[in-house]
Chain A
Amino acid sequence: MATRTAERARDDTRLALLFILPALIGFVVFLLWPTIRGVYLSFTRFNLLTPARWSGLDNYTRMVQDPVFWNAMGVTVYYVVVNIAIQTALAMVIAVLMQRLTRRTWLRGLVLTPYLVSNVVAALVFLWILDYQLGIGNRVLELIGLDRIAFLADSGWVIPTMALINVWRHVGYTALLIFAGLQTIPETLYEAARVDGANEVRMFRRITLPLLRPVMAVVLIVTVVGSFQVFDTVAITTRGGPVDSSRVLQFYIYEAAFSRFQFGYASAMSVALLAVLVVITFVQYRLTRAGTSDLAGGG
């Protein structure tokens, strides 16, 4: 009996091939091949109707000389910084409070609710709430004696506003990620600190913050990479305006491809975005490792 089982165990190769075949096709055809092809297309002129023609570095030289591209890159980075700074700080506070107040599911469920709707829904609701003439947001500003703000039509306000709209949708999700990280910190550490007479603020700074560093690094990688890909909110609310003040990179790429049919140029800009994301992930990954070793030393 035992030998028969062992024989079967060694004989799995053909069965395994069958089992991974659909996923393997999916991986090769819709993930690996498009990745390679995306890089290839960035070296071509391609308008979708005639076959792609090799054009060397043309798209890249054009890209570095394109002020709209650099503006888009700047706008995107600005968006990411505002979005991630507010979202991470707020999510951290929410996570710690949930941990200290109640770990019941209902509270986490309520906090997560905005995450269940699409970016499109979030964008439309805030387009209405923040409408210059009729939006409740501006009515409230007036009521408390402030001037109306053209949140999504003013070049100074548009990016912070979009950053906040997406904080609304994603902060609960981020808080739950951090909350999960908090569960890994042993309760005994807090008990010991309490015996020593530490207060909540001190415990947060001396226990929670340092022990959470590796988790925070992972959370930051996930949220920063997501934030860089912002598109839906812009496409629904401003379509890049006023002028170019909300023309984020992903929207400019979309326009290049689908308004001007410059798939080669769009691909080159996609490669640039990919490169930025890889560098950021790599840097943050190194920070994670640094955080882990700190933790080992401190814990």
Chain B
Amino acid sequence: MATVTAPATGDDRAAGRPPRPRFGVGRAAAWVFMALVIVAGLFPFYWMLRTALSDNNALYAGGDSLLPVQFSWGGFERVFGLQTGQEAIDAGGAGQPIAFWRYLLNSVLVATLVTAGQVFFSAMAAYAFARLRWRHREKVFAVFLSGLMVPAVFTLLPNFVLIKELGLIDTVLGIALPSMLMTPFAVFFLRQFFLGISREVEEAALVEGASKTRIFFRLILPISAAPISTLSILTYITSWNEYFWPLMVSYTDRSRVLTVALGVFKAQKPQAGPDWAGLMAATLVAALPMLLLFLFFARRIVNSIGFSGIK
């Protein structure tokens, strides 16, 4: 709630006290600068779309047009396997089959497993750290927090060895497992929210005979729906965009996720040069789910960032 009202008051104040005239030129220059920043930020997205809708051979023939060169769905057709091998080669593609739907499914599976597991188990732990009384609670929490100090990249190699020993190489579960049970950040993030929940409601439920487990499921989780969904969205996006770890673990289509598939697609260079139209179509399709997610949850994601980084 607070996250929604905070920016609103800022706006009201700005509206109530219009800027002084002497800032006029400065403000205009500032807006121009911000506009440039946004154009630079968004242009590559437009360029992906423009290229994806172009004919690949026409791109090579040259074309400075800001609009698609010889409009064609060919790039998307190659990504979704709608062109036969020879058609694809003629159109400037590699002609190898791309199991795009398989990669999409794998990405969805990995991100869903990671998010559901990590958020739920971290919430359980956060509840124990915030609300239950037990010996050594603070010490154990401090140990968990110290995990924040280990850069993610350091655990990748030994975790790969472990996943191999567990026989989970080249499986979706093998990619998801290491981050399915907790991250120190998720535990910390949720604990902060649980600490802020009024004890009175909890006491009342206890008096009525509810167990602490019931309180967690029926009271704490529903009350914390907002931070839990924020964390879930952030976790989902992070997991979806992960490249290094799935690159280590997956070898075949069986477990290949979209980011890794993009790298493979890029490496299958046709003779004439990269299939830019197809590659940009694939890139766009890989990025689109997160952009849609952002479209729906922009306010929540934007407002969560100060918290995740600073506090």
Hey, what's the 0/1 contact readout for B100-118 against A, CB within 8 Å counting as 1? 0000000000000000000
Cα-based distance from A26 to B147 in the complex (angstroms): 11
B187 within 8 A of A: yes
Query: Do A250 and B181 contact each other (CB < 8 Å), given the known contacts A16-B137, A35-B158, A102-B11?
Result: no
Are B287 and A116 touching (Cβ within 8 A)?
A: yes
Pick the contact of A120: B33, B132, B262, B307 (CB < 8 A).
Answer: B262
Inter-chain contacts of B219 with A (CB < 8 A)? none
Cα-based distance from A153 to B48 in the complex (angstroms): 22
A222 within 8 A of B: yes
Interface bin, chain A: 35 or more
Residues from 127 to 156 in A contacting B, C-beta threshold 8 Å: 127-129, 131, 134, 136, 139
Interface of A is mostly: helix
Q: Which of A61-69, A77-85, A273-281 lies at the binding interface?
A: A273-281
Query: Do A117 and B291 contact each other (CB < 8 Å), given the known contacts A22-B121, A266-B157?
Result: yes
Cα-based distance from A8 to B210 in the complex (angstroms): 11
Inter-chain contacts of A13 with B (CB < 8 A)? 134-135
- Min CB distance B122 to A, Å, is 6
Which among A38, A120, A168, A278 has the greatest number of chain B C-beta atoms within 10 A?
A: A120
Closest to B247 in A: A235
Inter-chain contacts of B160 with A (CB < 8 A)? 257
Query: Do A30 and B33 contact each other (CB < 8 Å), given the known contacts A112-B305, A118-B241?
Result: no
Closest to B4 in A: A105
Are B243 and A23 touching (Cβ within 8 A)?
A: no
B45 within 8 A of A: yes
Are B42 and A110 touching (Cβ within 8 A)?
A: yes
Closest to B207 in A: A1
Cα-based distance from A98 to B37 in the complex (angstroms): 12
Are B158 and A125 touching (Cβ within 8 A)?
A: no
- Min CB distance A266 to B, Å, is 6
Cα-based distance from A5 to B208 in the complex (angstroms): 10
A160 within 8 A of B: no
Hey, what's the 0/1 contact readout for B147-170 against A, CB within 8 Å counting as 1? 101111111011111101000000
Are B11 and A134 touching (Cβ within 8 A)?
A: no
We find that the number of chain B residues with CB closer than 8 angstroms to chain A is: 104
Pick the contact of A94: B26, B34, B137 (CB < 8 A).
Answer: B34
A180 within 8 A of B: yes
Inter-chain contacts of A200 with B (CB < 8 A)? 23, 26
Are A235 and B291 touching (Cβ within 8 A)?
A: no
Are B151 and A277 touching (Cβ within 8 A)?
A: yes
- Min CB distance B88 to A, Å, is 19
Closest to A97 in B: B30
Query: Do A112 and B266 contact each other (CB < 8 Å), given the known contacts A12-B212, A231-B153?
Result: no
- Min CB distance A48 to B, Å, is 7
The number of residue pairs between A and B whose CB atoms lie closer than 8 Å in the complex comes to: 281
Query: Do A180 and B307 contact each other (CB < 8 Å), given the known contacts A31-B155, A35-B155, A98-B34?
Result: yes
Are A236 and B263 touching (Cβ within 8 A)?
A: yes
A291 within 8 A of B: no
B133 within 8 A of A: yes
Are B37 and A113 touching (Cβ within 8 A)?
A: no
Are A19 and B177 touching (Cβ within 8 A)?
A: no
Query: Do A93 and B266 contact each other (CB < 8 Å), given the known contacts A172-B41, A270-B157?
Result: no
Closest to A142 in B: B64
B299 within 8 A of A: yes
Are B178 and A30 touching (Cβ within 8 A)?
A: yes
Inter-chain contacts of A253 with B (CB < 8 A)? 157
Q: Which 7 A-B pairs have the closest CB atoms?
A: A180-B306, A26-B181, A118-B241, A23-B125, A34-B158, A103-B10, A23-B182
Further 13 A-B residue pairs, CB within 8 A, beyond A168-B40, A231-B153: A17-B134, A19-B128, A20-B140, A22-B182, A23-B181, A109-B299, A111-B38, A112-B305, A116-B291, A128-B47, A128-B51, A179-B306, A257-B157
Q: Using a CB–CB distance below 8 Å, which chain A residues touch chain B? A: 1, 5, 8-10, 12-13, 15-17, 19-20, 22-27, 29-35, 37-38, 41, 48, 90, 93-94, 97-98, 100-114, 116-122, 124-129, 131, 134, 136, 139, 168, 172-173, 176-177, 179-181, 183, 187, 200, 215, 218-219, 222, 225, 228-229, 231-232, 235-236, 250, 253-254, 257-258, 263, 266-267, 270, 273-274, 277-278, 281
Of the A-B pairs whose beta carbons lie under 8 Å apart in the complex, a sample of 24, sorted by A's number, is A16-B134, A19-B124, A22-B121, A22-B182, A23-B121, A30-B181, A41-B158, A105-B303, A107-B34, A111-B38, A113-B42, A114-B44, A116-B290, A118-B242, A120-B286, A134-B59, A177-B305, A181-B310, A218-B309, A222-B309, A250-B153, A253-B157, A257-B157, A258-B248
